[in-house]
A = this chain, B = another copy of it.
Amino acid sequence: MNLKRNVYLDMKSIKEATKILFDHFGHIKTDIETLDVVNAKDRVLATPAMAAISSPNFHAAAMDGIAVDAKVTFGASEDAPITLLPDKNAFFVNTGHVLPVGTNAVIMIEHLNIIDEKNVEIEAPVFPWQHVRKMGEDIVATQLLFPQGHKINAHSLGALLSGGIFKVTVYKQPKVLIIPTGSELRQWQEIKTGQLKPGDVIESNSAVLGGLCEDYGAQFDRHPMLKDNFEKIKQTVGNAVKQDYDMICIIGGSSAGSEDFAKPVISSLGKIYVHGVTMMPGKPVMFGKVSDTPVFGIPGYPVSAIVAFELFAGPLLLNMQKLPKKEIISVQVSPARKIASKLGQEEFLRVKIGSVDGKLMSSQLPRGSGSITTLTEADGIIRIPANSEGISENQSVQAQLLRPLSSIENTIVITGSHDNTLDILADQIKEDSGDISVSSSHVGSMGGLMAIKKGACHMAGAHLLDPEDGSYNISYIKKYLKDQKVWAVNLVMREQGLIVAKGNPENIQSIKDLKEKNLRFINRQPGSGTRILFDYKLKALGISIQDIQGYENDEYTHMSVAVSVLSGRVDAGLGIQAAARALDLDFIPIVTEEYDLIIPDKFYNTQKVQTLLKIIQTKKLQERIVSLGGYSTQNTGKIMYHS
């Protein structure tokens, strides 16, 4: 193991790093090229577009009717109609026809009294130029249609062609070479599902950055993956700058570890300008120059890679083609909980956003920059400045939207206990309604009730057992939600039990075995219905929590518990059968419990919620649920309680 460490240069703030980037590369524009207008959509004009001809290029009838010199109509009235003589002082025209010489107005056909082919009567005069599209009305030759720097959209094509401009000079699309590096990477084409060895990572960043290149108006080539090998990476970059690439992105190896070669490669071939930016994720980003080509070292963690690309590489690509900055749409949101943040680094916090009772509530997603789902599940990003220690609960704060506000407003926010049927429900609602989405956050049953209390969700999933009478949820609702009217609608009855390794190697039969065999257990977080159930069972069995190895370790979802078992980290966890079955684990049933949706009365009759309630009663959804294993839908859709 080589313990030599690279060092970061002086870390820069995002603002400083951006200035350095544009000071060095801001002057670079791609070459220009001339295209047929019809092939130039989404490209940027490098020269102003001045009309070559006028549109219309003649005085044109704007209506179907008869063209006249307005003078011959003066004096016409109902009492004293005037007779016009077709082909003499009046001429039938259709919309778009050239106005005949000597005429300057059109009388609509609906206002004519056609006596015969030779005689037409009118009962009102017309003004000169009535119903005429005058020459140049739309476009006058030589006028500026679009200045340089204009991005050509579909509508622009019409103005350019109408103005007689058939070819345009535009900026070329920049070309980017993307070089994924990392000895742990595996190419997707080589992987059969389920055959990924521990330590192997599927290379996905090049696809993501390639897609982003396209979104930023650029083209990209993907270089085959490289191992962490200084010479090989150096040779590749050295060759690439001799080709016509406008930018090179080395993915991975941008940090300061012994196997991180992006920096030594760029330094040895050219010059590093920035290594390290005070932000999270994306801190280890770097950029420099090799033979006048900007070269980026993009961190390998997927969220870091995206943040680094979108902050630095993307804006530079836009600038190269004179495209305007990406439009950022922000809204004010209220975080459902206090958010702490580290001083000295700007944080890009991914959040879900729900529109609840007219207010936009945000809830924080995990911060790990290795988790791409923290971005794909996010509705927005809260940027916490470097000089801030965080955000207090309910402090209104700006969030940049990642999906349209209308879509957020059409989303049902379910907060509370985790259950696998919520995934199925989310998919089925998309299929049946099209517009409505479901967004679920897993904070446990009690967390769900608290979210209802705070007005942070539309409904909560809960399975809170009352040990006194064996009832579910009702006594908790009465205690914690006594100030509001709510409905409890059953989603499913489900099997809870011990999730154990395939084949049950420890031969676990009951909760008692956890103590007696001193097995490693993984718990659920405090406030979760499953933990309450576990505590109740321990108490009934007279087992102390000290006797359970791992009682203090917890996970937030049934699936995480199942993964803990699968990975060999623990011998057992309490969870639902569907989770065990999903990961092909064994399951020892303990109890059949009730999982309800708790819905405040003020949302109960909204269209969104009623749509959801209708869908849970469909046979199609219920069959999908039952196929997961460990569920019964005998009570699904039934109102279990209302206050």
Using CB atoms and an 8 Å cutoff, list the residues of chain A in contact with chain B: 1, 3, 5, 37-38, 41, 48, 50, 52-60, 62, 64, 92, 94-98, 104, 109, 114, 128-129, 133-150, 153-159, 161-162, 164, 166, 182, 184, 188-189, 191, 193-194, 196, 198-205, 207-212, 214-215, 255, 257-259, 300, 302, 306, 322, 324-325, 327, 329, 366, 368, 370-376, 404-407, 423-424, 426-427, 429-431, 434-435, 437, 553, 557, 559-560, 562-564, 566-567, 569, 582-583
Contact = CB atoms under 8 A, between A and B. Distances in A.
B164 A191 contact: yes
Contacts of A133: 368, 370
Contacts of A582: 140-142
A220 to B, nearest CB: 11
Contact of A196 (B57, B137, B143, B198): B57
B329 A427 contact: no
A258 B567 contact: no
Contacts of A134: 560, 563-564, 567, 569
A108 B61 CA distance: 80
Number of copies: 2
Contacts of A156: 376
Contacts of A204: 157-158, 161-162
Given A143-B559, A166-B191, 10 more contacts: A3-B114, A62-B368, A64-B258, A96-B201, A133-B370, A137-B370, A140-B559, A157-B207, A158-B208, A164-B193
10 contacts: A3-B109, A37-B188, A134-B564, A139-B372, A141-B582, A147-B427, A154-B211, A154-B212, A158-B205, A158-B208
Contacts of A37: 188, 207
A94, A189, A302: most-surrounded residue (chain B CB, <10 A): A94
Contact of A569 (B59, B212, B258, B567): B59
A97, A147, A429: most-surrounded residue (chain B CB, <10 A): A147
B404 A208 contact: no
B144 A194 contact: no
Given A37-B207, A140-B563, A159 B373 contact: yes
A427 B48 contact: yes
Nearest to A135: B567
Contacts of A98: 198-199
Contact of A41 (B97, B189, B214, B564): B214
A334 to B, nearest CB: 22
A149 B426 contact: no
A145 B300 CA distance: 21
A158 B201 CA distance: 12
A95, A142, A300, A435: most-surrounded residue (chain B CB, <10 A): A142
A417 to B, nearest CB: 16
B202 A162 contact: yes
Nearest to A301: B95
A630 to B, nearest CB: 13
A207 B430 contact: no
B158 A327 contact: no
Contact of A3 (B92, B138, B147): B92
Contacts of A1: 92
A58 B563 contact: no
A53, A156, A372: most-surrounded residue (chain B CB, <10 A): A372
A128 B375 contact: no
A371 B56 CA distance: 9
A404 B53 contact: no
Contact of A109 (B5, B94, B199): B5
A201 B60 CA distance: 11
A200 B53 CA distance: 12
Contacts of A430: 147-150
Contacts of A144: 423-424, 426-427
Nearest to A87: B1
A423 B324 contact: no
B406 A138 contact: no
A115 to B, nearest CB: 12
A368 B137 contact: yes
Given A371-B138, A563-B134, A255 B95 contact: yes
Contacts of A143: 423, 559
Nearest to A166: B188
Contacts of A145: 373, 376
Contacts of A155: 208, 211, 306, 372, 375-376
Contacts of A64: 255, 257-258
